[in-house]
Amino acid sequence: MLKRHIIVPVVATGLLILAGSTYSGDEGGDPFKGGLIWSNWTEAVAGGSGYPEGYDSGKKDFLRCKACHGWDGMGANGGYVRRSAKDSRPNPAPGSDLSSKFGSVTSEEVLYSEKGRKFSEYSKSMPAFSQKGGLSEQQVKDVVAFLNKGPKIGEFATLDTSAKPVSYTFKNADLKAGENLYAASCAGCHDADGNGSDMSLKKYFSGDGKYSEGFHKAVYGAGGKSEMTREASGNLNGKQAADILAYIQANF
């Protein structure tokens, strides 16, 4: 999200949003709604109104912020260090790590010019989110609030991206608190041992970079039609989500 870049969906050095907008900062923005926008801004739960006209939904990752910048906002320096490009998605590149900007992002920094690619073009270049079917003014405010105020896993864990899968060392984790929170917020679906019928947490978290994704979804919700909403998880703050993940890491 450097100067001329957007911070949303796809591109190596970007931030997100409407060219020519005049509103400022994250005033009136909801960081938790912004976290859903980060995942997929086209969904109704994120304040979106569906995919732009003519868009190939099979290539949705070309519109998602997290696809280039990662769930943790650290891009190629975070959980997505080994994420590869495919026909259906781009991959992070140098400049996709936005973590140094968290807390100081302004709306001007996330504005993107009319030079951005069309939604119907599937490349690593940032889209112009001011085009028809793009982000609303409120969505811009919300995602800026997320970037500035929303909890990120990097605040609570150190990532070793040289390890495969990425290794996460949680800072000052309270495993007892994590156990209690897991029982209250997670066990209902994932079972006490993490082997819930819908998702084995042991298998899930063995994947590369999955603690970044798990943290984001625990705090902000999984989006879409998932039953794993922020409310269903108990409106967790960042420290609570980190304690749960540290408990899962130690026990499952």
- The pLDDT value recorded for residue 20 is 36
User: Whole-number mean pLDDT of the chain?
Assistant: 87
pLDDT band at residue 145, thresholds of 50, 70 and 90?
very high
Range(s) of the domain holding residue 96: 31-149
Number of compact structural domains in the chain: 2
Average pLDDT over residues 28-33: 95
Same domain? 198 vs 137: no
Domain boundary among 111, 134, 149: 149
CATH number for the domain that contains residue 173 = 1.10.760
pLDDT band at residue 70, thresholds of 50, 70 and 90?
very high
Same domain? 119 vs 175: no
- The pLDDT value recorded for residue 21 is 38
pLDDT tens for each residue of 221-230: 999 989 999 9
- The pLDDT value recorded for residue 112 is 60
Q: Which of 97-106, 211-220, 241-250 has the lowest mean pLDDT?
A: 97-106
- Higher-confidence position of 229 and 24: 229
Average pLDDT over residues 149-159: 98
- The pLDDT value recorded for residue 212 is 98
Inside any domain, residue 12: no
- The pLDDT value recorded for residue 180 is 98
- The pLDDT value recorded for residue 109 is 62
Neighbours of 213 (CB within 10 A): 21
Same domain? 204 vs 111: no
DSSP the chain: --TT---SSS-TT-----TT----TTTT--HHHHHHHHHHTTSGGGT--SSPTT--GGGGGGT-THHHH-TTS-GGGTTTTTPPPBTTB----TT---GGGTT---HHHH---TTSBPTT--SSSPB-TTSTT---HHHHHHHHHHHHHS--GGGTEEEETTSSSPEEEETT--HHHHHHHHHHHTHHHH-TTSB-SS-BHHHHHTSTTHHHHHHHHHHHB--TT-S-BTTTTT---HHHHHHHHHHHHHH-
Q: What percent of the chain has pLDDT over 90?
A: 69
- The pLDDT value recorded for residue 88 is 95
Same domain? 144 vs 187: no
pLDDT tens for each residue of 228-249: 999 999 999 999 999 999 999 9
Same domain? 126 vs 109: yes
pLDDT tens for each residue of 162-187: 999 999 999 999 999 999 999 999 99
